[in-house]
Amino acid sequence: MTGTSDLSSPPVIVLDNLVKFFGRFAAIRGISASFAPGRLYVVLGDNGAGKSTLLRMVAGLMEPSQGNFTLLGTRDHREVAHRVGYMGHAPLLYDELSGMENLRYFAGLYGLDDDAVCRKAMQMVGLDPELSRRIGQYSQGMRQRLSLARAMFHDPDLILLDEPFSNVDVHSAREMAAVLGRVRDKGKTVFVVTHQAALMEGVADEFVHMAAGQIVAREEAVRNAAIPNAEWTPR
């Protein structure tokens, strides 16, 4: 089942003249755009183009200086916080805890006290739930995968990922991209900020190009007929 992006359904995000200043520097310079659900967007651009800032604002971590936006049909962003998943540039995990301990804690924050949810999330990114090692001793790639699991364990409708492939080997990155493709096929909306556009080719629905705090171009991507069903090697 290849999810056909339904352009007639209401958009997941509507940005209305969004502006963000850091002192005198305008990181986001008046973005108005709308994004349809069930699609995988890849946000591209140079350093300082405003990609991460835009993502942080949509995730509710930062207040816009001017303008506003509608998220999943509401302006009250706290109300839909449980339907959004966010993966930051940093891992957003506790080094002193094991993988499952980390996920269990964050699941508690979402009112999910079911161990099965965490196990499923670990397996989805190809990590062994029985792994008792602390995150501090994980390799970069494993940490990024767990980070992805943390952003998605609560089955969010909107997934925001900031540089998920940084410091990840090509093999793992392709596997992660495939996971994102499958999630999109289930009707979720995914935003991926990355430098490595090549990794997302064939999986992405749309490339969004940013420069100097604005969206400069949006181009429809060519999708592969089938997403490679990657074999995870649990480690």
Tell me the closest approach of the beta carbon of residue 235 to another protein, in angstroms.
21
Which positions from 40 through 59 interact with another protein, judged by CB under 8 A? 48, 59
Beta bridge partner(s), residue 207: 42, 219
In the region spanning residues 195 to 214, those forming contacts with another protein, defined by CB under 8 A, are 212
- Considering Cα of 53, then 55, then 60, then 61, what sign does the dihedral take? negative
Using CA atoms, how far residue 124 sits from 44, 128, 175, 177, 230, in Å, is 26, 10, 10, 12, 11
Residue 109 binds another protein (CB under 8 A): yes
In sequence order, the β-bridge partners of residue 28 are: 20
Q: Which of 94, 155, 174, 197 forms a contact with another protein (CB under 8 A)? A: 94
Please give the Cα distance from 99 to 148 (Å, whole number).
12
The reply on whether position 84 binds another protein by CB under 8 A is yes
Measured on CA atoms in the order 21, 34, 148, 144, is the torsion positive or negative? negative
Please say which residue, 5 or 147, places its beta carbon nearer to another protein: 147
| 70: contact with another protein by CB under 8 A | no
Size of residue set near another protein by CB under 8 A = 41
Q: Is position 217 an interface residue for another protein (rule: CB under 8 A)?
A: no
* Smallest separation, CB 55 to another protein (Å): 11
The sheet carrying 84-87 orders its strands as: 84-87, 158-162, 189-193, 40-44, 206-211, 214-220
Instruction: State how far the Cα of 34 lies from the Cα of 30, in Å rounded to an integer.
Output: 13
Minimum distance from CB of 7 to another protein (Å)?
Answer: 28
CA distance 216 to 218: 7
Q: Is 216 in the site for another protein (CB under 8 A)?
A: no
Q: Which of 150, 164, 204, 210 binds another protein (CB under 8 A)?
A: 150
DSSP state of 99: H
Q: Is residue 101 near another protein by the rule CB under 8 A? A: yes
Binding site for another protein (CB under 8 A): 19, 21-26, 29-30, 48, 59-63, 65, 78, 81-82, 84, 86, 88-97, 101, 105-106, 108-111, 134, 150, 212
